[in-house]
Chain A
Amino acid sequence: NAGVTQTPKFQVLKTGQSMTLQCAQDMNHNSMYWYRQDPGMGLRLIYYSASEGTTDKGEVPNGYNVSRLNKREFSLRLESAAPSQTSVYFCASSESVSGGTYEQYFGPGTRLTVT
């Protein structure tokens, strides 16, 4: 099992450019999440998908959109990148069944720089 994979690993964008971060998991998890990590601020939830076909805003959704393409894949799109979106982005997945494990498994991250 590859677990949670993300592409690309690194990306540099100019202000105003758009891009999509890809995430896939092979653990048959229902829930998937996108976080951003900035120095001294921990991980903040951008968007999440409780199950295939549903998406919801997290703590910091402005400037982002998501698509839950199928059960395996959850993408994050920046329509018009801004320097404030320079960050490390992590995708994660977990089971959402009540009483089951709540562990979130993280991907390796995407380091994004917006100039």
Chain B
Amino acid sequence: GENVEQHPSTLSVQEGDSAVIKCTYSDSASNYFPWYKQELGKRPQLIIDIRSNVGEKKDQRIAVTLNKTAKHFSLHITETQPEDSAVYFCAAITGSARQLTFGSGTQLTVLP
């Protein structure tokens, strides 16, 4: 089955700096890579996603890059703000039922 590894597990940045979270996946058949943000005590919510036929996608301060050859993808957050503090999960989708395999999460803390 699919295996998704995520690094780092914790990340602290100063407000205004950039944050980068990296993930690798194992199944070359995976073709959809979402990123979820989870605030404390809340449900995961999709913030951005990328399909395997695209190398980069951007939405305001958030961007995701995908390297299919190397099987890794990354989340980039620019101009970080305190409200960006949360746990971020990468995931890869596979299978006929579009099952998600999640990374173990990154606790991002933006220091004011």
Contacts and interface: CB of A to CB of B under 8 A. Distances in A.
Interface of A: 31, 33, 40-45, 48-50, 56, 58-59, 90, 94, 96, 102-104, 106-109
Contact of B104 (A41, A59, A102, A106): A41
B104 A42 contact: yes
B43 A90 contact: yes
Given A33-B99, A59-B1, A103 B46 contact: yes
Given A102-B32, A102-B34, A56 B97 contact: yes
Interface residues of B, number: 23
Max chain B Cβ within 10 angstroms of own Cβ: one of A43, A44, A48: A43
Interface of B: 1, 6, 9, 32, 34, 42-46, 49, 89, 93, 96-105
B22 to A, nearest CB: 15
Interface SS of A by simple majority: loop
Contacts of A41: 104
A111 to B, nearest CB: 9
B104 A96 contact: no
B14 to A, nearest CB: 25
Max chain B Cβ within 10 angstroms of own Cβ: one of A45, A49, A102: A102
B97 A103 contact: no
9 contacts: A33-B100, A40-B105, A42-B6, A42-B104, A58-B99, A59-B1, A96-B98, A102-B98, A106-B43
A24 to B, nearest CB: 15
Contacts of B103: 42
B43 A45 contact: no
